[in-house]
Amino acid sequence: MHHDTAPAATGSLPLPDGRTLAYAEYGDPDGAPVLFVPGAASGRRMSFGGPLPHRRRIRLISIDRPGLGASTPDPEKTLRSVGADLTRLAHALTGGPAPTVANSQGAPFALAAALHGAATRLVLASPADEAAHPALRPLLPAHFQNLLDTVATDPEQAARTFAEYTADGLFDMVLGSHPPCDAPVYTDPGFRRMFRAALEEGIAGGPPGYPADTVLAMSPWNLDLDRIAVPVSIHYGAHDRAHSPDHCRTLASRIPAARLHTDPHAGGSLLWARPGRILDDALHPGG
């Protein structure tokens, strides 16, 4: 699989408060639209599927969240405000809601977007779970629980801690230790080139980007997940130990229309290891 693909187009959407939201399009410019909400410190430089979107006539739209890449920071950023931004983007670029795929830390923002009306259906690939949820917190290691305490009691200090990460540090943290099933993706030169470039752009945004996103993702989400009316598919790798302590079983139970698909042979690289499955689910559910 060729992972590092140049975008077919880039652009930005003016928002009502004067900010802009940047995006990149991959695949077929005239194809069926699919929104993509990338993971931590990553924006429009990230894509998935390599040549598949073009072959399948899909217009994959990858987004810089506020404060990441070329998107203007939002000093009042919340999960809900980003959800509203993504909804405006979906309606502006596709004429209405569109199938939406989210990976890792992009998941809570995509869930907020689904509540705002951005999505016709939502596919979560290796989603970051709500670590602060009472059912999940006891399953986390002590050092992670301590970090949650810092986020809850002193979010500004937590953000300063997250701001100390460099692109190289995040790159090594994600790719430095992984199960063997992730090796075909994580050791691929094209993937590594794409991921490093995405992190460099994401980290360059400073505190309003990755640090602020991480504080939001590690705080209670306060999203009415039981009010999500569109179909939701959650794809999780059985060997993924990074994103959810119970492999998204609790998350799936909280969303009425959710279906959990556990891949017995995949890890955290599932989105890039099984891109066809994710695109099929986004556009042809049950097919």
Split at pLDDT 50, 70, 90, the class of 204 is confident
Q: What is the pLDDT of residues 3-18, one digit of tens each?
A: 778 899 999 999 999 9
Q: Residue 208: which pLDDT band, with cuts at 50, 70 and 90?
A: confident
Is 144 inside any structural domain?
A: yes
pLDDT at residue 158 in the model: 95
Look up the CATH number of the domain holding residue 27.
3.40.50.1820
Specify if 2 maps to a domain.
no
Domain for residue 179, yes or no? yes
Q: Which residues contact 151 (CB under 8 A, 6 or more apart)?
A: 132, 158, 215, 218, 219
Residue range(s) defining the domain that contains residue 215? 9-283
> What's the one-letter identity of residue 29?
P
- Is residue 163 situated within a structural domain? yes
Instruction: Give the Å distances, CA to CA, from 286 to 20, 25, 107, 277, 279.
Output: 36, 26, 21, 11, 12
For residue 287, the model assigns a pLDDT of 45
Q: What are the C-alpha distances in Å from 3 to residues 49, 74, 191?
A: 7, 31, 5
1 occurs within a structural domain: no
Structure tokens given for 198: 């995405």
Residue 119 lies in a domain: yes
Stretch 247-266: mean pLDDT: 97
pLDDT at 285 over 90: no
Residue 240 lies inside a defined structural domain of this protein: yes
Q: Is the pLDDT assigned to residue 176 strictly greater than 90? A: no
Total domains present in the chain? 1
